[in-house]
Amino acid sequence: MRPRVAVLGTFDVDNYGDHLFPRIAVAELTRRLPGATVDCYGPFGPLHPTRFTGGPPIRPLGPWEDGRLDRFADTYHGMVVGGGELLHLDDLLLAGFYGVEPAEVELVQPSRWFLEGVGAAREERCPVLWHAIGVPYDLSCTQAARVRSALAHRAPPVVRDAFSRDRLLAAGVLPPVVVAPDSGLLVDRLWDGDELEDRLRRLRARGRHPEESALVVQGCDLLVPWADAIAGAARRLARAHAMHLVLLETGCCRGDAVFADAVARRLGQEPHHRIPADADLADVAAVLATAGLFVGSSLHGAITALVHGRPFVVMNLGIESKLRGFARSAGLHHRVVEDIDAIGPVATAALREPPLVELVADLQAQVDRHFDALASAIVEAMEMRPPTERAPAPGDLERTALLAHVDTLRSELAEARAVAADAGSEVERLRATRTFRYAAPLRAARRSWLALAERRRT
C-alpha cells in the first residue's frame, strides 16, 4: 500500500507565500515517501484561480459535513494542515481575501477543516498533523475551549514561531507545543540558479527589471500611511548604494498594488521599475533571490532573500505578529523595523553584514526534521490502519465539492432574482403614479440637456 496524504491550507489565495507551501510540501513529502500520493486542498481550489499557477493542483475542500469527512478519512492516511497563519477562527474574514460572498465561505467553514480536521473519531484512521501554522492573536475563552477540545486527542501541535506557541499555552493547551520554522525556508529547493536567472532575463527583456543591482520595495495596504516616508528612504538608499528602484507585488489579497501605486506616486519622476502584476511565482522568487536589497513587509519575501544570501529589511510598521514571531524565532530582531526612521540605518547595516549562511543551514535542518516527523507519522498511521476494500478517488471528493458550490450559487441566484422581481414590481408601481406622469416633461428636458452637454464635451 502506498501512502495517501492530503495537505490543507489557503493555497488558493493570491499571495506568494501561500503558494510556496503546497509546492514545498509535495516535494518534501514525496521525497521521504516514495510512491506517495500528496493532494493539496484549499477552501475553493479551481473556483478561485490566481496568477500563481504551475504548482500542484489545488482541490476544493468542499463543505465540512459528515459525509465528506468520512470520504476524506477513508481516502487519506494523514491530513497535514499548513503552513500559513491558519488559526484565526474567523471564516468570514476570508471572504475579503478571496473576494467572495460570505455564504460561500460559510459553506466550506475553512476554520473547521484547519482546526477540527475530520473529527476525533475519524482521526484514529486519518490523523491530523499540524504543519508549522501560525496563531495570529490571543484566543478568547470560547476560542480557547474550541482549540483545547480539537487538540486534546492529537500529537503535540506544531506551530511556526514562539508567539504562536505561547498563545496556545495561554489558551490552556497542554504542553508540549512544538515550534518548527516556516517551511518557506526551503524555497531555494524549488528553482535552481539557472531557472531564476532565466526568469530575470525575461523580465529585463520586457523592460520590467534593471540590468544593474536592484533595491526591491514591497508592502501591503497596512503600509500606505507611510508611503511617502518609505519612498523617501528607498530613494536615498538607492542613490547612496548605486541601486535601481524596483516595486514588487507579492499578491493582491493584502493590497500590495495599492501600496505600490502610492509609492510610485511619491517617487514621481524618480526612475524606477515595476514588476508586472501578472508575474508568476518563479518571477517573484527570481526578483527576491537576486535583489541587491529587499525592503518589504512580506514574510516570505524576507525568507526568500535570507536563504539566497541577499540583504533584507522587514518593515513591520503595521505590527504584525507573524513578523515579530519570525524575528524572535530566527534571532533576526535586528532586521525588523517598527519605526519608519529606522529603515535607512537598518538597511545600511544589512548591506554590510555577510550572508547568514550558518543561520539558514540551522533553520533548514529544523524544517527537514519536521518533515521527517510528518513522514514518520503518516507511515505509522498507514501501518496501523486495517485494509479497506477501495479508497474513494480524490476526483470524487473534488466533484462533490464543486457540486456543493454550484448549489450555493444557485440559491444565491434565486435570491437575487427574487429581489430583482420585487424591485421591478416597485418600479412599475411608481410608473403608474400621477407624480411620475406629471414629471415626464421634466425628465425629457433633462435628457436633452445631458445630450447637449455631451456633444459640447466631445
The band of 26, judged by pLDDT with boundaries at 50, 70 and 90, is very high
Taking only the tens place, the pLDDT of each residue in 277-300 is 999 999 999 999 999 999 999 999
Please compute the mean of the pLDDT values over residues 142-165 and round it to a whole number.
Answer: 96
Residues 6+ apart with CB under 8 A from 59: 39, 40, 41, 42, 45, 46, 394, 397, 398, 401
Distances (CA, A) of 21 to 27, 80, 453: 10, 11, 56
State which H helix or E strand residue 348 sits in. Answer: helix 343-352
Residue 105 φ then ψ, to 5°: -70, -40
Residues 6+ apart with CB under 8 A from 94: 10, 43, 105, 110
What pLDDT score was predicted for residue 453?
Answer: 62
Distances (CA, A) of 152 to 118, 125, 139, 155: 14, 16, 16, 9
- Which of 78, 186, 177, 74 is CA-nearest to residue 134? 177
Taking only the tens place, the pLDDT of each residue in 404-416 is 555 555 555 556 5
The predicted model scores a pTM of 0.85
Taking only the tens place, the pLDDT of each residue in 200-212 is 999 999 999 999 9
Give 274's strand partners.
Answer: 247
The band of 389, judged by pLDDT with boundaries at 50, 70 and 90, is very low
Among the residue ranges 126-140, 346-360, 408-422, the one predicted with the least confidence is 408-422
What pLDDT score was predicted for residue 457?
Answer: 61
More confident of the two residues 421 and 157: 157
Task: Answer yes or no: are the C-beta atoms of 71 and 396 closer than 8 Å.
Answer: yes
Distances (CA, A) of 72 to 59, 82, 439: 12, 17, 64
Task: Answer yes or no: are the C-beta atoms of 19 and 250 closer than 8 Å.
Answer: no
Residue ranges in 12-57 assigned as alpha helix (H): 16-32
DSSP conformation class of 323: H
Taking only the tens place, the pLDDT of each residue in 171-194 is 999 999 999 999 999 999 999 999
- Which of 374, 370, 381 is CA-nearest to residue 1? 381
Distance of CA 454 to the CA centre of its chain: 46
Instruction: With a cut of 90, say whether residue 249 has pLDDT above it.
Output: yes
Task: Answer yes or no: are the C-beta atoms of 45 and 59 closer than 8 Å.
Answer: yes
What pLDDT score was predicted for residue 96?
Answer: 86
* Cβ neighbours, 10 Å, residue 338: 15
Task: Answer yes or no: are the C-beta atoms of 354 and 117 closer than 8 Å.
Answer: no
Taking only the tens place, the pLDDT of each residue in 28-83 is 999 999 999 999 999 999 989 999 988 999 999 999 999 999 999 999 999 999 99
- d(C-alpha 152, C-alpha 225), whole Å: 43
Q: Which three cell numbers stand for residue 299?
A: 514574510
Angle, helix 299-307 to helix 281-289, in steps of 10 degrees: 60
Mean pLDDT estimate for the chain: 90
